[in-house]
Amino acid sequence: MIITEPPAGVEASGVRRTFGEIVAVADIDLVVPPGEVTALVGPNGAGKTTLLLVLATLLKPDQGRISVAGHDPVADPGAVRARTGWMPDTFGTYDTLTTRETLEFAAAAYRIPAGRRADRASELLALVHLSEYLDRPVHVLSRGQKQRLGLARALVHDPSVLLLDEPAAGLDPRSRIELRGLLRRLAADGKAVLVSSHVLAELEATADRVVFVDRGRSVSAQALAELPRSERRPWRLRALDAEALLTSLDRRRVEHGPAEPSGIEVLLPDDEAAAELLTALVRDGVPVVTFAPSGSTLEAAYLAMTEDRR
C-alpha cells in the first residue's frame, strides 16, 4: 500500500462566508504552496481577515472546499490546528504573564510535553529577538514587540502552515526587515506561509506569490515575478541639471509633475515608452541620475486592480 502525503499547504476554492445580510467573503480561490510566502492583498473590508478566520478553523464557511495542511477545517478542526499557526490582526495578551509564561502556556495548550516547554519558549524568544524580555511581564512590551511575541506564539508547535494577519502592523523598520528574513527562512524550511498586509513595498520583498482580493472575491493570483511590468505607471526622474530636464520634457510634450527635490514625476504608458524617453534625454545631453518606476510593481498592480472602485 502506498501512503500518499496529503498536500501540505492551503487549497481553497469557492469559499463564501456571510454574516446575516453582509457578505464578507463572496467567492475566494486560494492556493498557498509549501515552501513559499503567499501574500493576500486587498483593500480594507475585502474579506482578508474573515478568510483567515475560516482557514484557522474559527468560522464555518457557507460554501467552498478547503484543505489546510491536508485536512478539512470544518470536518477535522483538531488536525488542522495541530499543523497550523494563526496570528490574528489584533493579538490579545495576558498582560500579567511574562513572555516566557505566555509561550509556555501556548506550548502546554498545544500539548507539548512539560519537559520541553521551557526550551521551546527560550528558543522562540531568541528567534523573535525578545530574549531580554524573558521574565518581564507582557504589558511592558511595545506594540511591535507584542506583535513579535504573537508570531512566536503562532510558531510554538512548529506548524507546517502559517496564517499571519497583518504581521507587520506596528513594527519598526528594523523589525520589518527581520520579519521579512524570518518569513523567508520559514518558507525555506518548507512551511506554507500566508501573509495578509497593506504594506505593499514590504510584501514585494517577502512574497513569492500574491493573491488579490476585492469585495470578497479573489481578483487574481499570480507569481510576483510574473506581474505585468509594462503597465501605465509613474516614473521618477532626476537630473543634475533640473532646468535642462524640464526643458527637454516640455519639448517632447511629456506630461510631468512639478520639480521637487526628489525629482520629477512623469506618467508613461509602458516600459517601451520609458526606454525611449531615457534614450532621448541622454541624446539631449540631460545629465540624468535617476530614472526609475515610482512605487513598486505590486503597488502598480494593486492600484490597477482597485482602479474601478473610484
Q: Note the residues at the interface with another protein (CB under 8 A).
A: 19, 49, 53-54, 56-60, 73-74, 77-78, 81-82, 84, 86, 88-94, 96-97, 101, 105-106, 108-111, 153, 157
Residue 156: CB minimum distance to another protein, A: 9
Taking the least distance from each CB to another protein, the nearer of 120 and 238 is 120
Element (H, E) at 102: helix 99-109
Q: Of the candidates 14, 15, 309, 31, which has an alpha carbon nearest to the alpha carbon of residue 192?
A: 31
d(CA 249, CA 264): 10
Taking the least distance from each CB to another protein, the nearer of 101 and 204 is 101
Render 143-154 in DSSP notation, one character per residue: HHHHHHHHHHHH
Residue 58: CB minimum distance to another protein, A: 5
Taking the least distance from each CB to another protein, the nearer of 112 and 264 is 112
Q: What is the largest CA-CA distance in the chain?
A: 76
Residue 147: CB minimum distance to another protein, A: 13
d(CA 17, CA 270): 39
d(CA 208, CA 105): 33
Residue 82: CB minimum distance to another protein, A: 6
β pairing state of 84-87 and 161-165: parallel
d(CA 298, CA 233): 12
Residue 242: CB minimum distance to another protein, A: 51
Between the two ends of the chain, the Cα-to-Cα distance in Å is 57
Q: Grid coordinates 504552496 are at which residue?
A: 33
Residue 105: CB minimum distance to another protein, A: 5
